[in-house]
Amino acid sequence: MRLRWWGLLTAVGFFWMVTLLSPILMPFFIGFILAYLGNPIVGMLERSGLSRLFAVILFFLLIGTLTLLGMLVLLPLLWQQLLQFFYLIPEMLIWLQGSVVPYLEHYLDLDLSTGFEQIRLLLLEHWRETGSFAASLLAQMSRSGLVLALWLINITLVPVVAFYLLLDWERMIGAVRGLLPRRIEPTVSRLAGDCDEVLGAFLRGQLIVMVSLGTVYASGLSLLGVSFGALIGMAAGVISIVPYLGALSGFTTAILVAFFQFGSLWALVGVCGVFLLGQMLETFVFQPLLLGDKIGLHPVAVIFAVLAGGQLFGFFGILLALPIAAMVMVLLRFALERYRSSALFERGSGRIEIDGGSPRERQ
């Protein structure tokens, strides 16, 4: 009993300490994720005959090259389209009020003009406030050497933390395994392996799915000549971490922009074709090949996990929601397996005890 209380106090103290240190934990968290994602690649390079140190250096050279190419090629294009989109929003609101709202009022027999005008004025007012606030914030950050220095330190910490974690990854895993009580070590190792398999399948697979979908959407919309096609497509790919939300939000935005730009139904047909192709590729190619059925999270569970994480812990909770949900699924499967092999399930009596091997039943 005393050991349980000490465990509870330790857990409470740990979460309290994490809350206090949350402002400085982000670079360490991102560095850990980068090290976790890169460890299989480093391990593959190490098995090919390279030393651990040289394999880690080669991995960071590869990541650095890809990041630099992305910043040189994609960032200027996305930034330019983002600025153009911001400047076009007032015109799109006027167009919606003059073209789309009367159409909806006629066919739905609703009075939308008054409410839409209030929404438009409210958006424009907050738009101006947001623009002035962003400008003053950027000016203040440029004048504040301390803020800029802290920002640069956080950016620099991410690869440094990831480098040292990757270098000592196997040693740290072995040290943690050596601290476990011998009776439960096989069970904990098995659960950790299952969690690693699920998390690896999700993080690596979902990242490739997001990039692939973003590329399909951005390429298709750009070939159609839709304004901001690259921006809309890449944003839809990123948001696709939540099932159907990325396709729905990207499709809605692309339809509005295409109709505003061309005023033709053929443009809408083209946009529908692009997103239909993306959904077919995701369903029949990307998901089966990259994710398979290892995660086992229902789309409704994914949506609930993301919303719950955001409600409880904000943006940090959104980042952690799906990995935590995947690990919870592993634990639930383990508990269900133990329950089905127990006397409680077979005869309706007994109690389950979990040790390092199979469960033991007591009458």
Whether residue 321 sits in one domain with residue 192: yes
Q: How far apart are CA 309 and CA 303, in angstroms?
A: 10
Residues 91 and 116 in one domain: yes
Mean pLDDT of the chain: 77
Asked whether residue 218 is domain-assigned, the answer is: yes
pLDDT tens by residue, 30-42: 888 889 888 989 9
Same domain, 243 and 298: yes
- Is residue 78 in a domain? yes
Q: What is the pLDDT of residues 214-272, one digit of tens each?
A: 999 999 999 998 888 888 998 999 888 777 788 899 999 898 888 888 877 787 899 99
Query: Residue 361: pLDDT band by 50, 70, 90 thresholds?
Result: very low
If asked whether residues 271 and 160 sit together in one domain, one would say no
User: Across residues 71-81, what is the average pLDDT?
Assistant: 78
- Which of 145, 179, 213 finishes a domain? 179
Say if residues 68 and 192 touch (Cβ distance below 8 Å). no
Q: What does each C-alpha distance from 249 to 214, 238, 243 come to in angstroms?
A: 13, 11, 11
Give the whole-angstrom CA distance, residue 85 versus residue 328: 41
Please indicate, yes or no, whether residues 172 and 306 belong to a single structural domain of this protein: no
193, 334: one domain: yes
Q: Note whether residue 9 is domain-resident.
A: no
Q: With H, G, I as helix, E, B as strand and everything else as coil, classify residue 228.
A: coil
| pLDDT of residue 178 exceeding 50 | yes
Are 168 and 289 in the same domain?
Answer: no
The pLDDT of residue 258? 87
Residue 143 inside a domain? The answer is yes
Q: How many CB atoms lie within 10 A of CB 209?
A: 22
Residue 260 CB neighbours (<10 A): 17
Q: Are 202 and 326 in contact (CB under 8 A)?
A: yes
Residue 191's φ and ψ, nearest 5 degrees, are: -65, -40
Q: Are residues 135 and 194 in the same domain?
A: no
Residue where one domain finishes, among candidates 179, 207, 242: 179
User: What whole-number distance in Å separates Cα of residue 246 and Cα of residue 212?
Assistant: 13
4 located within any domain: no
Q: Provide φ and ψ at 355, rounded to 5°.
A: -120, -160
Contact 214, 275 (CB under 8 A): no
Strand 351-353 relative to strand 360-362, pairing: antiparallel
- The answer to whether residues 334 and 202 belong to one domain is yes
Rounded Cα gap, residues 218 and 7, in angstroms = 50
> Looking at this protein, which amino acid is placed at residue 13?
G
**Where among 129, 158, 179 does a domain terminate?**
179
Together in a domain, 362 and 338: yes
- Rounded CA Rg of the chain: 26
Q: Which residues partner with 361 through β-bridges?
A: 352
| pLDDT number for residue 24 | 76
How many domains does the chain divide into?
2
Burial of 333 per CB tally in 10 Å (0-12, 13-18, 19+): middle
- The reply to whether 8 falls in a domain is no
Indicate whether 337 pLDDT > 50: yes
337 lies in some domain: yes
203 shares its domain with 325: yes
Residue 58 has pLDDT above 80, yes or no: yes
Find the domain containing 105 and state its range: 24-179
Number of other residues whose CB lies within 10 A of the CB of residue 274: 26
Residue 230 lies in a domain: yes
Residues 117 and 224 in one domain: no
